[in-house]
């Protein structure tokens, strides 16, 4: 007899859904975690004799899936949830959000807002979020405290804010932040020019240069509204994507957030350039921006991930809702019931987001050697029964309330439906504090 191999954790769910390969569902299998990574996935009767885990969790009625990846959010805006609802994008931004941020934005605001967001996201199975906001060091420190992966966007704007006075200051402070935190295992970075209507050609050219030199993704709002396109035609003589193409920004490193209003030539351009799209269906509907042409983009091979946007324009940081809505919108808009089937919606929330961020060698699917970012979803309740197809059940029936446990790099961050790394009562107290301050003014 051979000596059992020591391991840190063994999980025995009813189903393991690796996402890669697509459509695979493993029953009566165990997942083994060692040193923060997926060490093995094998039939459970083989695991009995092969491994000796320090912890063994049996999860009847559960599916284990990869951690969800929120490809676009402004985490700290959780403190502005419901603050200026039922307004169009530019009215919402120019007359409500930006003036409020100008008055109140600070490291404390960002830290408190990000804690609230991380608590919500972790308990909903989001293990990694791609963030775009000011005072990014505050967000990074909170994500580390929460033991959650963050891709910190080094924001670039062409107007002064409480964080930076001009484009050069945004870039210098952002790159210094990257130098300080780049070795941390939970922290990655991207360049985050806000949008074509808020960033100049000169600033975009600098972003393109730094992206090439430092091999950083670029994360940018793009073609969100018809007004944005009209404004670009008036000021630059071309639509925003063509302007970005001429400035050298488009390529596999570029994440085009929203991409709602695309003509046929622009859809082909995204495919040819290898651009990824961050699809934010709830936010796009709530702000009346429109419906992205997801079915057409998929047909051309464009990588599409899912984002929640900020809680101020959604108002949930809930990728389960985004998966279901993305699938339903694709079907309704195309008139094809087989458009965006459940397994593709799940891929959008996992491996596609990882690919867009250049992190697919580490996260996004349950593959031996990848980081053990895992979500246990309880499908045993009446609202999820009978379960003929667990992948379809995850997308069309399940929700974040069914997430019972979450591990990041093999460490439990949610157990018994409750976050283990953040102080819920303190976070709620601070959210009440900010609500009272903002209401008084």
Note down pLDDT in tens along the chain; length 441 residues.
Answer: 579 999 999 999 999 999 999 999 999 999 999 999 999 999 999 999 999 999 999 999 999 999 999 999 999 999 999 988 998 878 888 898 888 988 899 999 999 999 999 999 999 999 999 999 999 999 999 999 999 999 999 999 998 999 999 999 999 999 999 999 999 999 999 999 999 999 999 999 999 999 999 999 999 999 999 999 999 999 999 999 999 999 999 999 999 999 999 999 999 999 999 999 999 999 999 999 999 999 999 999 999 999 999 999 999 999 999 999 999 999 999 999 999 999 999 999 999 999 999 999 999 999 999 999 999 999 999 999 999 999 999 999 999 999 999 999 999 999 999 999 999 999 999 999 999 999 876
Q: Is 396 helix (H, G, I), strand (E, B) or coil?
A: helix
Task: Provide the phi-psi class of 390: left if phi over 0, else alpha when psi is between -120 and 50, else beta.
Answer: alpha
Residues 6+ apart with CB under 8 A from 10: 30, 31, 32, 33, 47, 51, 53, 55, 56, 57
Structural tokens at position 256 = 């085009």
What's the CA gap between 312 and 9, in Å, rounded? 38
pLDDT at residue 94, as a whole number: 87
Query: Residue 386 carries which DSSP code?
Result: S
Q: Where are the domains of the chain?
A: 5-66+374-408, 68-356
Nearest one of 315, 323, 317 to 92, comparing CA atoms: 315
Structural tokens at position 35 = 């040193």
pLDDT at residue 1, as a whole number: 54
Domain with residues 68-356, CATH architecture: Alpha-Beta Barrel (3.20)
Pairing assessment for the beta strands 403-408 and 411-415 based on DSSP bridges = antiparallel
What's the CA gap between 271 and 377, in Å, rounded? 34
Place of tokens 């502005």: 80
pLDDT at residue 441, as a whole number: 65
Contact present, 151 and 115 (Cβ < 8 Å): no
**CATH fold of the domain at 5-66+374-408:** Urease, subunit C; domain 1 (2.30.40)
What's the CA gap between 128 and 376, in Å, rounded? 16
Q: Is 366 helix (H, G, I), strand (E, B) or coil?
A: coil
pLDDT at residue 156, as a whole number: 97
Residues 6+ apart with CB under 8 A from 25: 15, 16, 17, 390, 391
pLDDT at residue 97, as a whole number: 87
Contact present, 191 and 360 (Cβ < 8 Å): no
pTM as predicted: 0.97
Pairing assessment for the beta strands 403-408 and 374-378 based on DSSP bridges = antiparallel
């Amino acid at each position: 007899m051979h000596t059992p191999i020591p391991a840190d954790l063994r999980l025995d769910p009813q189903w393991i859904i690796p996402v890669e390969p697509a459509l695979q569902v493993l029953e009566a299998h165990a997942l083994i975690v060692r040193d923060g990574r997926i060490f093995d996935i094998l039939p459970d009767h083989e695991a009995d004799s092969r491994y000796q885990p320090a912890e063994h969790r049996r999860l009847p009625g559960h599916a284990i899936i990869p951690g969800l990846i929120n490809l676009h959010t402004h985490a700290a805006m959780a403190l502005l949830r419901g603050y200026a609802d039922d307004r169009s994008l530019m009215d919402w931004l120019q007359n409500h959000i930006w003036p409020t941020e100008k008055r109140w934005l600070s490291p404390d605001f960002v830290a408190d807002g990000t804690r609230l967001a991380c608590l919500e996201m972790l308990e909903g199975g989001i293990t990694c979020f791609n963030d775009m906001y000011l005072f990014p060091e505050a967000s990074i420190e909170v994500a580390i405290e929460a033991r959650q992966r963050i891709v910190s966007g080094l924001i670039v704007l062409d107007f002064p804010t409480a964080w930076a006075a001009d484009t050069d200051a945004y870039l210098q402070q952002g790159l210094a932040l990257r130098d300080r935190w780049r070795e941390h295992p939970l922290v990655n970075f991207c360049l985050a020019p806000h949008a074509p209507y808020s960033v100049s050609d000169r600033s975009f050219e600098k972003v393109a240069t730094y992206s090439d030199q430092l091999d950083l993704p670029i994360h940018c709002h793009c073609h969100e509204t018809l007004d944005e396109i009209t404004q670009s035609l008036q000021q630059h003589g071309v639509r925003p994507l063509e302007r970005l193409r001429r400035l050298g920004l488009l390529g596999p490193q570029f994440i085009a957030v929203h991409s709602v209003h695309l003509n046929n030539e622009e859809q082909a351009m995204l495919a040819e350039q290898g651009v990824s799209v961050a699809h934010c269906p709830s936010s796009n509907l709530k702000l009346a921006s429109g419906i992205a042409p997801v079915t057409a983009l998929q047909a051309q091979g464009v990588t599409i991930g899912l984002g929640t946007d900020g809680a101020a324009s959604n108002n949930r940081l809930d990728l389960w809702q985004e998966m279901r809505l993305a699938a339903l919108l694709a079907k309704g808009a195309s008139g094809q019931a087989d458009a965006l089937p459940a397994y593709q919606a799940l891929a959008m929330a996992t491996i596609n987001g990882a690919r867009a961020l250049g992190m697919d060698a580490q996260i996004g699917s349950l593959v031996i050697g990848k980081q053990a970012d895992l979500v246990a979803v309880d499908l045993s309740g009446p609202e999820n029964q009978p379960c003929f197809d667990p992948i379809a059940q995850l997308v069309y029936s399940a929700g974040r309330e069914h997430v019972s446990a979450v591990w990041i790099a093999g460490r439990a961050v949610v157990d018994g439906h409750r976050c283990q790394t953040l102080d819920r009562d303190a976070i709620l107290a601070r959210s009440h504090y900010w609500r009272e301050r903002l209401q008084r003014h």
